[in-house]
Amino acid sequence: MSAILTHAATYHRDTEIVSRTVGGAIHRYTYAEAEQRSKRLARALLRLGIKSGDRVGTLAWNTYRHFELFETEGVTLSLGVPTIWLGFAERLAATGARCTTLRSALSGGAAVPPVLIEAFEYRGIAIVQGWGMAEMSPLGTVSALKAKHLALDVIGQRAIKAKAGRPVFGVETKIVDESGRTLPHDGASVGEVMVRGPWIISGYFEDEEATPMPR
């Protein structure tokens, strides 16, 4: 995590992180300032006796302390779950508001209803479905159209977009039956999903029972 923040602070020092606080006010600061605050926090934790490998939990609203970006800041790409996007679409329809900058949205956590894809496309917003898990850090697949899909009509393209998609680079997937045999990738077989990749966990911390044996 520190390497990611250092990278952001080095190459995007003046880029703003914008969030709305619990009280309703808008908070702004840059990645450079975020890195400075994080280092101060790390030093404070060391003084409190926290050592490398210790676990520290946080409990807070998703404000600037847990990085959040809002539509009012001219967002061009946004991420969320279908529940958020359904409410967002209903709000736009009820108020007549327009998103002049938003071009695409990535949705995950549940299947995207075709009606939601249609509602977003009507407003010029491409919604892309992704699938993954927290254990996958978290993205596993993305349902993006291939060049050959561009020849399909609108209904055909929406059918593709409604699927879970293909694995991103670095992620390998397969489905197996109850005996562990690999099932065909035919769009019809049903089994247990198995994934692996360099950023996917191999087990659960101090929980051997929850950690499956490799196949």
pLDDT of residue 100: 81
Give the amino acid at 4. I
165: left (phi over 0), alpha (psi -120 to 50) or beta: left
In this structure, the answer to whether residues 104 and 126 fall within a common structural domain is yes
pLDDT 10s digits, 101-158:
888 999 988 899 888 999 999 989 999 999 999 899 888 999 989 999 999 999 999 9
End-to-end CA gap in the chain: 30
Residues composing the chain: 215
pLDDT 10s digits, 40-96:
888 888 898 988 777 776 666 655 543 444 354 667 888 888 888 888 888 888 888
In this structure, the answer to whether residues 84 and 162 fall within a common structural domain is yes
pLDDT 10s digits, 8-36:
899 999 998 887 777 878 889 999 999 99
Q: What is the pTM of this model?
A: 0.65
In this structure, the answer to whether residues 80 and 162 fall within a common structural domain is yes
In this structure, the answer to whether residues 31 and 49 fall within a common structural domain is yes
Domains contained in the chain, number: 3
The three state secondary structure string of 181-209 is: CECCCCCCCCCEEEEECCCCCCCCCCCCC
- State the CATH number of the domain containing residue 201: 2.30.38.10
Longest dimension (CA), the chain: 62
Cα–Cα distance measured from residue 102 to residue 162, given in angstroms and rounded to the nearest whole number:
20
**Where does the chain have alpha helices with state H?**
2-11, 31-47, 82-95, 114-122, 154-161
- State the CATH number of the domain containing residue 91: 3.40.50.980
pLDDT 10s digits, 161-210:
998 899 999 999 999 999 999 999 888 899 999 999 998 988 888 787 77
In this structure, the answer to whether residues 136 and 188 fall within a common structural domain is no
pLDDT of residue 214: 55
Residue 174's domain spans which residues?
169-215
In this structure, the answer to whether residues 124 and 152 fall within a common structural domain is yes
In this structure, the answer to whether residues 156 and 197 fall within a common structural domain is no
In this structure, the answer to whether residues 92 and 157 fall within a common structural domain is yes
Picking from 149, 167, 185, the residue at the C-terminal end of a domain is 167
pLDDT of residue 32: 94
In this structure, the answer to whether residues 61 and 26 fall within a common structural domain is yes
Question: Which of helix, strand or coil describes residue 1?
Answer: coil
- Side-chain-side CA neighbours of residue 38 (13 Å): 19
Give the amino acid at 190. V
In this structure, the answer to whether residues 65 and 83 fall within a common structural domain is no
What percent helix, strand, coil does the chain show, rounded to 5? 35, 20, 45
Question: Which of helix, strand or coil describes residue 167?
Answer: strand
